[in-house]
């Protein structure tokens, strides 16, 4: 299908997804349809070993939903929520490392989208990040109440959501909401090169780590340990596991293929 608000290409085994829905990259039905198609392309291509999510809208990574749509709220908006959660969950559970290049405001659903990525890099400029919905008498609706505490900690997440705080890049870095700050004109290149380096790693092992990690986070410690043991058995006999051990004893750099067989 032809994409409407996303641009997609594969560069050096990195799936590069650029949001292009001016003015604020609203996460509406066209975004969900495009992202569903992109996820299918990623999962159906064994060449893809990392993914990068970025924006081409000046000043905005994404602000979630535009305020205009809030003036005429009806059941159609509520009906979109299960689909939106399904898309974000699927992105979060991709068996490859994922990176968000935050080059503009990431507010509301924009932050919730960034939270499903494994890494978040943010431009050091006059932009803000947060879940300000309470200022409009609303609440986060795309997983923010669950994912923000896991990322920034319970105390800070409560403060951010109860007050509707919009953090500066420095504030976001201080609480661990983002992994690194870069100059504004370097954010995409830094994020892409980081994703490209991850794509050279043992990405099947990364997939097993992600599966174990998210099982524990969402289903509890015991389920997480069970998944970890299963993942170890799935991974230990892979070519990458053998390559990693052989390379260590031979004193050379491993060349991982990212495959499970």
Active site residue 133: yes
Q: Give me the catalytic one of 133, 159, 234, 255.
A: 133
Q: Give me the catalytic one of 2, 33, 90, 112.
A: 112
Active site residue 226: no
Contact 112, 64 (CB under 8 A): yes
Contact 12, 47 (CB under 8 A): no
Phi and psi based region of residue 82 (left: phi greater than 0; alpha: psi -120 to 50; beta: remaining) = alpha
- The whole-angstrom separation of Cα 225 and Cα 220 is 9
| Count of residues making up the chain | 261
Catalytic annotation, residues? 112, 133
């Amino acid at each position: 299908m032809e994409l409407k608000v996303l641009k997609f290409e594969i560069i050096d085994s990195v799936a590069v997804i650029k949001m292009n829905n001016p003015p604020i990259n609203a996460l509406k039905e066209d975004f969900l349809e495009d992202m569903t198609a992109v996820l299918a392309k990623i999962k159906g291509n064994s060449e893809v070993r990392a993914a990068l999510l970025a924006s081409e809208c000046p000043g905005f990574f994404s602000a979630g939903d535009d305020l205009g749509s809030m003036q005429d709220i009806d059941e159609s908006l509520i009906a979109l929520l299960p689909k939106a959660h399904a898309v974000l969950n699927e992105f979060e559970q991709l068996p490859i490392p994922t990176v968000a290049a935050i080059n503009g405001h990431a507010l509301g659903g924009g932050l919730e989208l960034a939270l499903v990525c494994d890494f978040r890099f943010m431009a050091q400029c006059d932009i803000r990040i947060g879940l300000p919905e309470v200022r409009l008498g609303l609440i986060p609706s795309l997983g923010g109440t669950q994912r923000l505490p896991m990322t920034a900690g319970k105390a800070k997440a409560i403060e951010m959501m109860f007050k509707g705080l919009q953090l500066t890049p420095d504030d976001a870095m201080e609480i661990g909401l983002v992994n690194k700050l870069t100059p504004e004109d370097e954010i995409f290149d830094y994020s892409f090169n980081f994703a490209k380096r991850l794509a050279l790693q043992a990405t099947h092992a990364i997939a097993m780590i992600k599966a174990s990690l998210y099982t524990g986070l969402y289903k509890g410690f015991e389920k997480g340990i069970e998944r970890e043991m299963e993942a170890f058995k799935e991974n230990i006999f892979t070519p990458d596991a053998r390559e990693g051990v052989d390379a260590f004893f031979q004193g050379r750099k491993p060349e991982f293929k990212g495959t499970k067989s």
